[in-house]
Amino acid sequence: MPMMGFYHGLLAALLVCAALAAVAAPAADPSPEITEHYTRMMKYHGYMDGSVPEGAVLFIGDSITQGLCTAAVCDRGVNYGIGSDTTVGVLQRLPEYRSMDRARAVVVAIGVNDLRRRDNAALLENYRKIADAVAGRAPLLFSAVLPLDERVREENRGVNARIRELNAGLAALCAERGDCRVVDVFDALLDGEGSLAPEHHTGDGVHLSDKGYAVWIAALRGALETLPPRAPKG
């Protein structure tokens, strides 16, 4: 009987560990990361890239970037947002942007779609690879991942604590490297309950409203204004 009690205790401990692991790990998303939309958009980006002028700012990200009016941020802003994109998609497409070598800066805003595919450690490793890919080509600004309204979808309960931790890791990565900076408006978009404020999103708990974009645009504009002019190459 004591041995039976031991096995029951061991089984209970294993079940608790499994439950904790399930909570900590992101749910697997079986959908492909490189979508038809991604492929179609990359074709148009290829058409555009050769015409990007010297001193442009490239905005690279997902649907939140795709909906950004880059002209409200800076002159010569080029919108390379692709809806549903992840850090994996950004890493695949960075080499295609030859305009990066003549850009004033690159702004990368990516990560929210990764949350259901990989943990923060894997995400931070992809951020490091993105910084490596941009290094020496143009100044790099990362946008911190924006908060979600946790009340809109059940699966987003508690996600903002994870996003805050991820953003802290990204800030530490850039501080360690010294060749990138983070623009963080996470707290500025929150309401009193710690979620993306209803007035800052379109109703889906993710995508920014005009008021939400105004907050983000002001921060991006301010960060870009502090960058020194880039000397022409050659």
C-alpha angle with apex 126: 121 to 132, nearest 5 degrees? 130
Residue 144 has φ and ψ, to the nearest 5°, of -60, 150
Where does residue 76 rank: exposed (0-12), middle (13-18), buried (19+ CB within 10 A)? middle
Q: Which domains does the chain have, with CATH numbers?
A: 34-225 (3.40.50.1110)
Q: CA dihedral in degrees (224, 229, 233, 234; nearest 10)? A: 180
pLDDT of residue 13: 45
Cβ(45)–Cβ(97) below 8 Å: yes
Per-residue pLDDT, 115: 98
| Predicted model pTM | 0.88
What is the reported pLDDT for 28? 65
Q: What integer pLDDT is reported at residue 30 of this predicted model?
A: 78
Give all strands (DSSP E) within the chain, no chain letters: 57-61, 77-81, 105-109, 140-143, 180-183
**pLDDT per 10-residue tile (average), the chain, 234 residues:** 48 42 55 96 98 98 98 98 98 98 98 98 98 98 98 97 98 98 98 98 98 98 91 63
CA distance 66 to 112: 14
**How, if at all, do strands 77-81 and 105-109 pair?**
unpaired
Instruction: Round to whole Å and give the CA distance between 224 and 199.
Output: 26
Outline where DSSP puts E strands in 180-233: 180-183
Report the distance separating Cα 151 and Cα 49, nearest Å: 40
